[in-house]
Structure 1
Amino acid sequence: MSNDWEKLAGETGEAVTSNRIKRMFKLGSMGARVAASSMASKIGSILPGDAEQREDNLKRSNIKNAGRVVEVLSDLKGASMKVGQMLSADPELLPPEFADVMSSLQKDATPMTYTTVKAQIERALDRPIETIFSYFDPDPVGSASIGQVHRAVLESGEEVAVKVQYPGVADSLESDLKSLKTMLIYGRAFVDRKRLDELFAEIERMLLEEANYEIEAETLGRFHETLKDHQGLRAPKPYPKWCRKQVLVMEYVHGTKLDDALEALEDGPRRQRLLERWMTAYYWMFHELFELHADPHPGNFLLEEDDTLVMLDFGSVKKYDPAFPDCFLEVVDSTWQNDPVRTIAAYERLGFGAKDGDLSKIDPELMQQYQELIVAPFMRNEPFEFGGWEPAKETKRFMLRHPSFMKLVPPPEAIAYLRVLSGIKGLLGKMDAKVNAYTMVHDLIERRGLLTPDP
C-alpha cells in the first residue's frame, strides 16, 4: 500500500508541550515578566515628564508584552491559547496596541509536527495510518487552539478533512486554567477580576465540550441532517467510523474562509447578501432551532462557489429552553413599545442581576435610555451603519453615570449568546456594513408570535 506522503512529510511544525509542570513553568515565567513590565510601565506613565513620550513608551511596552504572551500561548495551545483568543476578541479587556498583536492568535496557530499527528491518529484509531487513508497531507490546512486539520483521502475513496487534537489538551485543561487565572489575577496586567471570572467560566464550559471530538461528531451529524433542506447554508458530513475523542473525520469542503471572501468583495449586493445570510443563520439557530453555534468567528464558515455558507467547528454548541431566547426577543419588543418596566421584568426572568438578583433599584426611564444604546441596530426600519457603532464604550460611560446598572450582570447561560452577538457586531463593524437589522428581528418576533399588536 502506498504511503508516499510520509516521504514528503519532513519535520515542519512544533512539538506541543503536554507535561503539566513544564506548562505551568512557562505560564508562570511569562506571567511574571508581563506583570513586572506592566507595573514598570504604569509607574513610568505617572512620573513627571513629556506626556506624549510617556504615552509612546506605554504603547511600546504593551506591544512588547503582547509579543511575549503570543509566543508562549501559541506554543502551549489548548486552554492557554483559547484564553488569548477570547481576550483579543474583547476590545474592552485590552489596550488597542495589545489587542492588535494578540489578534494573531485568532489566525492559524503554529502546527504540530507530522510525527505527532501520526502518533495521535494511530493511538486514537489503534491501527497504522496507511490502513485508513490512501493519502494524507502532512501539512495542515489550518491549525487552531486545540487541534489542527489535514486534508486526506480515505481508503474507500472519499476526500476528507481530519481534525487532530494536540496531545495533552484534555489532561492539561484544569491546570492550564488555574495557572492562567492565578497569573492574570496576580499580575492584573490587562483584565479585572469580575470580567475574568465570567471569562474563565465560559472557557471551561467550552473547552470541556471542544476537547471531546466524539461529541462534536454527533453534533455535526445532527446539523448536517437539519441543514439538508436549508437553502444557502449547510454543514459537512461526518464519518463516525473514524471519529474518536482526539480525532474527527468529516467531508472535505472546497471553499474560501468567509472573512477572506468578504474582504475580496467590493461593497455591493453580493457582499450584503452574504453578511445578511450569516447573521440570519445565527438568529435562526438561537431563536428557532434553540441551539447556538457559540464560536462566531467568520473563519469557521467557508464560502463555496455557489455562495453556499458551510458551517465548521461544532465543538461548542449550546442548547436552550425556548423560553430563554424568546425572553431576549421580548426585551427588544418592550423597548420598541417604550415599556421599560416590562424590559426589567424580562431581564429578571432571564436571570440578569448581581448576586441578589434584585433589579428594583434601576430607574425605568434610565432603562429605556440604556436599551436604546444596546439595541440601536433594531430601533429603526432602515439600514444601520455598524462601522461607527461602539456599544461597549457607550454602555461603560452610561454605567459610570448610573452605577445601579452595574447590577445588570448576565447569567452564565447568556454568556455564549452575548459572545455571539459581540462576534457578529465585530465582523459587521470591520466590513463597515449597513444592514437593516430591524426587519430581520421584527419578522423573527412576529413568526414566534411575540410581537405586541399595534394599538
Structure 2
Amino acid sequence: MAEDWEKLAGETGEEVTSNRFKRMFKLGSMGAKVTASSVASKLGSFLPGNKDRREEGLKRAYAKNAERVVEVLGELKGASMKIGQMLSADPELLPDEFADVMSSLQKDAKPMTYNTVKGQIEKAFDRPMEMVFSYFDPDPIGSASIGQVHRATLETGEDVAVKVQYPGVAASLESDLKSLKTMLVYGRAFVDRDRLDQIFDEVRRMLMEEADYRIEAETMARFNEHLDGREGWRAPKPFPQWTSEEVLVMEFIDGQKLDEALAEIGDGPRRQELLERWMHLYSWMFHELHELHGDPHPGNFLLQDDDTLVMLDFGCVKSFEPEFTDGFMEILDAAWQDDAERIIDIYLRLGFGTDGTDPKSIDPELMLQYQSIVTAPFMRDEPFDFGDWEPAMEAKLFMMRHPSFFKLIPPPDALAYFRVLSGIKGLLRKMDATMNAYEMAYRTARRRGVLTES
C-alpha cells in the first residue's frame, strides 16, 4: 500500500527554502521590480493623453505587480505569504486589480514537494510514514501560509487530514518580515505605513502562536466541544497522539470552501442565512466565549452538503477578558443614547489613548461623528449594505481633519480585535451582503446586561 502512494507522488511541488539570504534576495529582487513598475506607472498617469487609456495602463500595472508579488510570496511561504493573505483579505487596503490577483494566495499557493512532506512527517514521528498511515495522498488538499494539508488514513482506519508545516518557518520569521516591510514601505507599493505597522505586528504574533501545532490541537479540541452544541456548526477532532510541533493530524471533514460555495449559491435567502450565521458565530465567540478565531478569511471555513459550516485552522485563537469584550457593547449602547461623554470614558477605560490622555481634549460632538463612521452597520434597526461600506478611508479622512483622535491609540488587544473585524468586513463586502447588524448587536447587549434603556 505504501509503495502505491509513493508511485503517485512524483515531484510536482516546489522546494521551500529556509536559507535567510536566499529569501532576502528573492524578496529584494521582487521589491525592486514592483517599485520600478509602480513609479513608472504613476509617472505615466500624469502625462497628457486619453484619461481612460491612462487608467487602463494603471490597472494593468497593478495586476502585473500583483502577479510578481504572488509568485514570490507563494514560493517563500511563512511570514511572507501570511502578509499577502492578510493584505488580500481586506478590499479597502488594495486596488481592485491588485486584490483580485492577491486573493489567489488564499487558495492557489504551490505546495512543497512530497519528499519534503515525507521528511517533515518522519522527523516529527521518528518512524517511517507507513507505520502511521495506511494511505497518504501525495497531493495536498489545501495550502496555507505556514503549512499544507494532505488527506490520509491512519493505520487504525480513521480518515484524517494531516497538516504539515513548511521547514524553517519560525527561523525565517524576523528576516522575512524585515525584508518584506522594507519593500512595501520604501516601494510604496500599495499600503500606507500606519496600516502596515499594525499588520506586521499582528502577523508576528500570529505566526509565533501558529508555529506550534500542539497548541493548535488543544485549541481545536476545545472548539470541537464548543461547537458540538451549536446548531449548524462543527469543528474537526484532533488526534493528539499523532501531533507534534510541526505535524497536526485531525479528523477529515469534507466540504467546499465558504467563498467558493457562496459564489456558486448566488443571491438569495440561502446565502443570506449562511452569511448571517457566520457573522453571528464571531459575535458569539467574542462576547460569550471571550475568545476569537484570529484568521477569518473564508478559506478557513467549509460548507457541507447539509449546509453545516465547518471551522478550520485554530492556530491563532486569542482570549480576552469579559470586561474588555463587554466594553465594546457598552460603546454601542452609549452611541445609541447619543452619550458621547460615556463613549469617551469607555474608550479610555479599555486602554485607548496615550498615557495621560485628557478626556476633555476630545470633542464629544466629534466623537459621535466618529462613531457614526466606525459603527455604521450597528446604528440603525434596518438592513445595512456592507458592499458600499469603506470605514477605513472615511475614518482616516476624519482623523486628518480632527487630529485629536490620533490620541486614541488602541491597546494591543484592540488591534487584534480590529484585525478580525477587518477580515469579517472584507468577506461581507465582497459578497455585497445586506443584513440587520443592529438587531444582532442589540440582542447581545441585552444578554450581556450592558443595555441602557432610553
What TM bracket, shorter-length normalisation?
over 0.9
Kept in 1: contact 2:90–2:425 (CA 8 A): no
Q: Which residue number corresponds to residue 74 of structure 1?
A: 74
Q: Which residue number corresponds to residue 96 of structure 1?
A: 96
Kept in 1: contact 2:89–2:297 (CA 8 A): no
Q: CA deviation at 1:266?
A: 4.0
Q: CA deviation at 1:360?
A: 3.7
In structure 1, how many angstroms separate the alpha carbons of the residues matched to 2:110 and 2:354?
40
Q: 1:184 to 1:310 in 2, by over 3 A?
A: same
Any idea what the Cα deviations from partners look like across 1:423-454, whole Å, max 9, x if unmatched? 22222222222212111111111111100033
Kept in 2: contact 1:211–1:246 (CA 8 A): yes
In structure 2, how many angstroms separate the alpha carbons of the residues matched to 1:388 and 1:395?
15
Q: Which residue number corresponds to residue 44 of structure 1?
A: 44
Any idea what the Cα deviations from partners look like across 1:119-146, whole Å, max 9, x if unmatched? 1101111110011000001111111111
Q: Which residue number corresponds to residue 281 of structure 1?
A: 281
Kept in 2: contact 1:3–1:130 (CA 8 A): no
In structure 2, how many angstroms separate the alpha carbons of the residues matched to 1:311 and 1:35?
38
The aligned amino acid for 1:137 is D
Any idea what the Cα deviations from partners look like across 1:63-93, whole Å, max 9, x if unmatched? 2222211111111011011111112223343
Q: CA deviation at 1:339?
A: 0.3
Kept in 2: contact 1:330–1:346 (CA 8 A): yes
Q: CA deviation at 1:197?
A: 1.6
Q: Which residue number corresponds to residue 140 of structure 1?
A: 140
Identical pairs, percent: 70
Q: Which residue number corresponds to residue 351 of structure 2?
A: 351
In structure 2, how many angstroms separate the alpha carbons of the residues matched to 1:431 and 1:31?
32
Q: Which residue number corresponds to residue 293 of structure 1?
A: 293
Q: 1:343 to 1:200 in 2, by over 3 A?
A: same
Q: CA deviation at 1:171?
A: 1.2
Q: Which residue number corresponds to residue 366 of structure 1?
A: 366
In structure 2, how many angstroms separate the alpha carbons of the residues matched to 1:301 and 1:61?
32
- In the alignment, structure 2 segments of 5+ residues that lack a partner are none
The aligned amino acid for 1:368 is L
Kept in 1: contact 2:16–2:75 (CA 8 A): yes
Stretch moving more, 312-321 or 1-10? 1-10
The aligned amino acid for 1:380 is R
Q: CA deviation at 1:50?
A: 4.7
The aligned amino acid for 1:96 is D
Q: CA deviation at 1:412?
A: 2.0
| Matched residue SS, 2:275 | helix
Kept in 1: contact 2:31–2:183 (CA 8 A): yes
TM (norm. structure 2) is 0.95
In structure 1, how many angstroms separate the alpha carbons of the residues matched to 2:160 and 2:108?
20
The aligned amino acid for 1:169 is V
Number of matched pairs: 454
Matched, 1:192 2:188: no
Q: Which residue number corresponds to residue 255 of structure 1?
A: 255
Stretch moving more, 224-233 or 91-100? 91-100
Q: CA deviation at 1:116?
A: 1.0
In structure 2, how many angstroms separate the alpha carbons of the residues matched to 1:145 and 1:452?
44
Matched, 1:204 2:204: yes
Q: CA deviation at 1:182?
A: 2.3
The aligned amino acid for 2:256 is T
- In the alignment, structure 1 segments of 5+ residues that lack a partner are none
RMSD: 1.8
In structure 1, how many angstroms separate the alpha carbons of the residues matched to 2:159 and 2:452?
51
Stretch moving more, 170-179 or 192-201? 192-201
TM (norm. structure 1) is 0.95
Stretch moving more, 45-54 or 327-336? 45-54
In structure 2, how many angstroms separate the alpha carbons of the residues matched to 1:48 and 1:258?
45
Any idea what the Cα deviations from partners look like across 1:160-183, whole Å, max 9, x if unmatched? 000011111111111111211222
Q: 1:190 to 1:269 in 2, by over 3 A?
A: closer
Kept in 2: contact 1:3–1:134 (CA 8 A): no
The aligned amino acid for 1:186 is Y
Bigger relative contact order, structure 1 or 2 (CA pairs below 8 A, ≥6 apart): 2
Matched, 1:421 2:424: no
The aligned amino acid for 1:334 is A
Alignment of 1:56-455 (within 5 A): 56-354=56-354, 357-358=357-358, 360-454=360-454
The aligned amino acid for 2:234 is R
Q: CA deviation at 1:334?
A: 0.5
In structure 2, how many angstroms separate the alpha carbons of the residues matched to 1:412 and 1:40?
38
In structure 1, how many angstroms separate the alpha carbons of the residues matched to 2:409 and 2:42?
29
Kept in 2: contact 1:353–1:359 (CA 8 A): no
Kept in 1: contact 2:90–2:426 (CA 8 A): no
Stretch moving more, 90-99 or 171-180? 90-99
In structure 1, how many angstroms separate the alpha carbons of the residues matched to 2:349 and 2:95?
35
Stretch moving more, 222-231 or 249-258? 222-231
